[in-house]
Structure 1
Amino acid sequence: MDIQNLESLISVVDCGSIAGAAKKANISATAVSLRIRKMEKHLGCTLFNRDAHSIKPSEKLLAVIPRIRCIVEHAHQLSNDLNADTLIGELRIGAISTALTGLVPAALEQLSSSAPGLKLTITPGDSKLLYDKLVNQELDAAILVAPPFKTEKSLRMVTLRSEPLCLLAPAAVTQDEAHSMLATGPYIRYAARSWGGLITQRYLDDLSLAPCVTCDLDALEAISLLVSQGQGVSLVPQWPSLLQQSPNAHILTNDPKYCRDIVLAHHAGHHRASAIKLLASVLMT
């Protein structure tokens, strides 16, 4: 029984149409239809009820679709286990937004030539979400802000970059002007609940600065846009593409206490250790 045929069955059920399943798999609708008919012939029953404008799973298919999902999942896991010590197969990683735009594209380009058989499945999210997914074994590795607490003993953290604290303002400023603007102007706060936001809040607390907060955002690119539109000033880490988006960004301090460390987190002794090691190396180049 061809796993690709089973994948197409699942995809048609999930997408609700052959066209949707074909688009998801990047193949033709004719190819998806052929796979379905092959499965119906092999199993000797009708798997979908068709009319002129729709296709719906039959009761028989709905009854066994959970088992089909398990078969496909186990097949993929078997492939990954067989290729565990190689640079082939799927590697599930998570990445925060600034890593997706600043670190991941160049890494993917390098991996396409150095490990063409390695397929990265990327999950976006904030650091806390990705950390939880990593702990729950839903990810093989995650690019996130260094956790502000003691992590599980099984986890390892590879520091990819350390980002100094910057002031974003509509125009270039000096150090003294920066502190004055923080004390008096409208302040767009990098959400204090986020792991990176905790660092900016620490800086303000240590200098006894209490800006007038107009909004909280855990979206650095959006903060940069609001500042460029004259909506206020903000304290942010110097993420990879910051200076391209905000050329007036002013580094306030390089003190490690106020830097946002970006790490690649993974479990010690992971079965995809070779792939994770290669990923770490290309992310740091």
Structure 2
Amino acid sequence: METRFLETFLTVVESGSISEGARRSNLTPAGVTQRLRALEAEIGVPLLVRAGRGVTATRAGSRVAERARPLLRACRDLTAGLDDDVLAGELRLGAVTTAAIGLLPDLMVALRAGHPGIEIRLHPGRSNELYAKVLDAELDAAMIVQPGFGVPKTCGWLGIRAEPLIVLVPDRLRGADPFAVLAAEPFIRYDERSWGGKLAGDYLRARRIRPREIFELETLDAIAVLVNKGLGVSLVPDWAPPWPSGLSLARLPVPGAPLRHVGLLWQRASVRIGIINAVVEQFAAPA
């Protein structure tokens, strides 16, 4: 059985679409369909069924997916770390959006220069989701917001960036009092399902500030665009650039602002610990 076909099948199941699975696998939809048909023919049962405009796993397909995930992880781990003199192999790295855009590109350039055999497979997501995937060994490491609780001793943590909360306002409000702004202007809330959004929500509650909320958004870039349009203000971490271009915004410092800490989480016992250590060393090195 071709492990590549199983990987393609899992990608389609996770994305819910053959076209999206093809994009993620760098294949054509026809190529993906051919692999899926070959896999179904070998296993002997249908694995996928149409669901609206997408696809979903059949009952048998769900069982195959459940068994295939640890099998594929074991296959990838088979050759990891065999050559102590050469760092090479795949690193399954999760990253929140701001880290993927603002922190990860420089890391990838540096790793490619020093260790061309390392291949990073990026998995975007929320901090809480990526945290769970590292603990379950679905990811080797993740660039996430530091949780509000201690990480297990089986994991390593390296702080990379500390981001104070700021009140983000249109440029016309530059220099205004941040508390007056939060009390008077329409408020765009940073979704509290994210750990950064929860940090902002906790700060507002501790200060007994009840802004006039009009929107709640998960993406910081989208919040910045709406603030630029004059639709409201927001309390957000001062995240790593680049920010959306062409915006006229001002950042108002917040008294007693807590920090959103962004860092790297990894499993200490990972078979890819050599590659992970190279990433840790790169982030820990002086700029």
Residue identity matched to 1:156: G
Alignment of 1:38-53 (within 5 A): none
The residue that corresponds to 1:250 in the other structure is: 251
Aligned to 2:152: 152
Query: 1-side partners of 2:193 and 2:28: how far apart?
Result: 46
Give the deviation of 1:8 after TM superposition. 4.8
Are the counterparts in 1 of residues 94 and 122 from structure 2 also a CA contact under 8 Å?
yes
Tell which deviates more after alignment, 6-15 or 149-158: 6-15
Matched-pair contact (CA < 8 Å) for 2:6–2:39: no
Q: Does 1:125 align with 2:125?
A: yes
Match of 1:98 in 2: 98
- Aligned-partner Cα distance in 2 for 1:72–1:209: 50
Larger Cα-atom Rg: 1
Q: 1:7 aligns with which of 4, 25, 29?
A: 4
Corresponding residue number in structure 1 for 2:15:
none
Amino acid at match of 1:89: G
Equivalent pair of 2:221/2:244 in contact (CA under 8 Å): no
* SS of match in other structure, 2:183: helix
- Corresponding position of 1:77: 77
Matched AA of 1:211: P
Q: Equivalent pairs: percent with the same residue?
A: 30
User: Distance in 1 between the 2:158 and 2:10 partners?
Assistant: 40
Q: Does 1:58 align with 2:41?
A: yes
Deviation at 1:20, TM superposition (A): 9.8
- Does the CA contact (< 8 Å) of 1:85 and 1:272 recur in 2? no
Structure with more helix by fraction: 1
C-alpha deviation, 1:229, in angstroms: 1.5
1:197 maps to which residue? Answer: 197
Amino acid across the alignment from 2:250: A
Match of 2:273 in 1: 273
Give the gaps of 5 or more residues in structure 1: 37-46, 49-54
Across the aligned residues of Structure 1 and Structure 2, the Cα RMSD in angstroms comes to 3.9
Equivalent position of 1:182 in the other structure: 182
Deviation at 1:74, TM superposition (A): 3.8
Give aligned pairs, total: 263
Give how far 1:184 is off: 1.1
* SS of residue in 2 equivalent to 1:80: coil
Query: How far apart are residue 116 of structure 1 and its match?
Result: 1.0
8 Å Cα contact 1:191/1:218 also seen in 2: yes
TM-score with structure 1 setting the length: 0.75
